[in-house]
């Protein structure tokens, strides 16, 4: 059976690459589509921008409708504008990313019928995605990999209180390489934006680690003058 689809001209859409970190693994949010085209395929959460909302607002709304997640700090990273990227017509999409702590998060679940389900999937083993979403994901992953080195995005993926080992394993997951424990700690602590708490990890069956907090205010002070690569 062939399905006749409407076509459209000049539509903007938003697609979201939402990273989460859980059990030492980096994951992203996928949805199962419930609409043609690419019905039943896996895809990034994404939909069409309304006339009367900014693209930033649209990104928040769309993510909420498709996954139930709200109040993430979403950031635009690239716009995809190939003519044939959408089979039904001309759709230019602005891609956003966000980072989020998975732990303690209520289950993700679509609020609209455009998606059948939403779930976390490890980045290392992604299936083929609808549209050009695999390309969008790759572009986004490269972006955050690079940004990890000069922006405090790691802390958005961790619980508010975290151990240095957790922080290190996040860096290792994103950069995909092993780091030296002593050097990593020395360097992170030397920045001065980690606040040591009077509290320890609980519920582990081995020596509990100290907990730390990211001190956003100190970070901002330290890095207000940040352009420094040449001299």
Partner DNA sequence: ATATAAGGTGTCGAAATTACACCATTAAAT
Partner DNA sequence: ATTTAATGGTGTAATTTCGACACCTTATAT
Q: Closest separation between CB of residue 91 and DNA, Å?
A: 44
Sketch the per residue contact string, 176 through 195, with DNA: x for CB under 7 A, - otherwise.
----xxxx-xxx--------
90 binds its own copies (CB under 8 A): yes
**Cβ nearer to its own copies, comparing 3 with 83:** 83
**Cβ nearer to DNA, comparing 36 with 199:** 199
Restricted to residues 22-81, the positions that interact with its own copies (CB under 8 A) are 49, 51-56, 58, 76, 78-79, 81
Q: Closest separation between CB of residue 222 and DNA, Å?
A: 12
Could you give the count of Cα atoms lying within 13 Å of 144 in the half-sphere of its Cβ? Answer: 33
Helix axes 133-147, 164-175, angle to 10 degrees: 130
Interatomic CA distance for residues 41 and 129, integer angstroms:
7
Interatomic CA distance for residues 33 and 178, integer angstroms:
36
**Cβ nearer to DNA, comparing 116 with 186:** 186
Residue with tokens 């949805």: 31
* Strands 75-80 vs 89-101: parallel, antiparallel or unpaired: antiparallel
Q: Closest separation between CB of residue 45 and DNA, Å?
A: 33
């Amino acid at each position: 059976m062939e399905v006749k689809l409407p076509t459209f001209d000049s539509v903007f859409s938003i697609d979201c690459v939402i990273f989460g970190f859980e059990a030492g693994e980096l994951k992203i949010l996928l949805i199962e589509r419930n609409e043609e085209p690419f019905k039943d395929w896996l895809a990034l959460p994404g939909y069409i921008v309304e006339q009367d909302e900014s693209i930033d607002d649209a990104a928040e709304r769309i993510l909420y409708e498709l996954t139930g997640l709200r109040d993430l700090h979403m950031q635009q990273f690239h716009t995809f504008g190939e003519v044939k990227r959408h089979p039904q017509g001309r759709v230019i999409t602005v891609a956003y990313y966000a980072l989020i702590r998975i732990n303690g998060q209520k289950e993700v679940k679509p609020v609209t019928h455009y998606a059948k389900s939403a779930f976390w999937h490890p980045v290392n083993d992604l299936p083929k995605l609808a549209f050009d979403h695999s390309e969008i994901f790759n572009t986004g992953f490269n972006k955050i990999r690079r940004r990890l080195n000069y922006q405090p995005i790691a802390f958005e993926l961790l619980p508010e209180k975290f151990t240095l080992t957790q922080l290190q394993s996040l860096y290792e997951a994103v950069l995909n390489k092993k780091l030296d424990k002593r050097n990593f700690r020395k360097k992170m602590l030397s920045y001065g934006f980690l606040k040591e708490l009077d509290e320890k990890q609980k519920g582990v069956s081995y020596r509990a680690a100290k907990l730390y907090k990211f001190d956003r205010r100190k970070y901002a002070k330290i890095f207000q003058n940040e352009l420094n690569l040449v001299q």
